[in-house]
Amino acid sequence: MKVLILGADGYLGWPTAMHFSAKGHTVLATDNYGRRTRCKSINAEPLVEPLNLDLRAKHWREVSGKDIAVQIGDCCDYAWLKSVVAEFQPDCVVHYAEQPSAPYSMADQGKAAETLQNNLMATMNVVFAVRDAAPNAHIVKLGTMGEYGTPNIDIEEGYLTVAHKGREHTFLYPKTPGSIYHLTKVQDSDLMYFATRIWGMRITDLNQGPVYGIDTDQTMLAPELQTAFSYDDVFGTVINRFAVQAVAGYPLTVYGKGGQVRGYLHLRDTLACVELAAENPAEPGEFRVFNQFTETFSVNDIAGLIQSVGERLGYSVAVDHVDNPRKELEEHYYNPANSNLLDLGLQPHFFSFETIKPLFDFIETNKQRIDTSLFAPKVLWQTGL
């Protein structure tokens, strides 16, 4: 396939680009370095800032003998994006090109507006660029399990059939986003569902849970191929952040009671899920939704698991419950379905000592870079920064 990766500089984007290239696909990686700019704007640098895309593509060629083409540009610039799609003629467009942080979106009006403008404009432009320049291409869009919220019924994969007054209809599953970021993801889903119904497009929405880990078959080949790894309270996901805190000897910062349950998956499984979606595309006119996670944990569960792994590796790991900066239920029902990707052949990498040890090893290697001032939550959902 010819695979266009939008947002290829990010934590998920670069490993995805290498993964598809390693499989023999023709890959074009694009980004505007928005993640780097946002991290610097709030003084929250990743543990290791990776090389730029051109340099990483150069090292990838030296290590693998395979090419990843790179173009730098902004998906909010429609003329640029349409020209890229028209020239490359992708079979699959993997869309990661969004502001990915809930706390960032809740910090103040400016960051909320930036998140809305960037995420919705980018997605609209992707839809129109594919519709007008490569209409047979399949869009694989990264959504989030956070779209659903925490309803008191089972969460289905994208749709819910409702019986009402003797009649029945299937709707997109009702959404209850908990941040401006998650709200943009809901609006993305509505826009893409519209595009499949009105224009007959082929779109898969991957509602992904928080991702953890740093090691893939490709990132482990050379330090120059490493991806971005954030651990701060704004851009770092909870398992990654807890692992850094454990190595740093800093108490794990559990928000509130710690009963919040979410679905999680390893970085390797993100790559497998995107590959499965791309190799088994949606039909024309189909808006397909996959819930992309492998296990559910409460925050207390995660703290206990990280504590166990850390102590096995010789770290002394304490747990500290701090005031919850977010507005969310801390005790709730949570039972989401995730059978579609498993039915396509996903073989999960479950949380275990073996899957987490490479993460601890990576952090230990870069321990001198840890800034413990980045751990404490600074964005309050009710008042912002």
The whole-number pLDDT of residue 167 equals 98
Domains of the chain: 2-374 (3.40.50.720)
| Averaged pLDDT of the chain | 97
pLDDT digits (tens, 9 = 90+) for 50-83: 999 999 999 999 999 999 999 999 999 999 999 9
The whole-number pLDDT of residue 384 equals 79
pLDDT digits (tens, 9 = 90+) for 28-54: 999 999 999 999 999 999 999 999 999
pLDDT digits (tens, 9 = 90+) for 322-377: 999 999 999 999 999 999 999 999 999 999 999 999 999 999 999 999 999 999 99
Distance CA 156, CA 342 (A): 14
Distance CA 302, CA 308 (A): 10
pLDDT digits (tens, 9 = 90+) for 178-230: 999 999 999 999 999 999 999 999 999 999 999 999 999 999 999 999 999 99
Tell me the DSSP string of 275-326. Answer: HHHHHSPPPTT-EEEEEE-SEEEEHHHHHHHHHHHHHHTT----EEEE---S
Active-site residues, by number, are 144, 181, 185
Q: Residue 385: pLDDT above 90?
A: no
**pTM of this prediction exceeds 0.85:** yes
Helix, strand or coil, per DSSP, at residue 239: helix
Q: Which residues of 341-363 are buried (b: 16+ CB within 10 A; e: fewer)?
A: beeeebebbebeeebbeebbebb
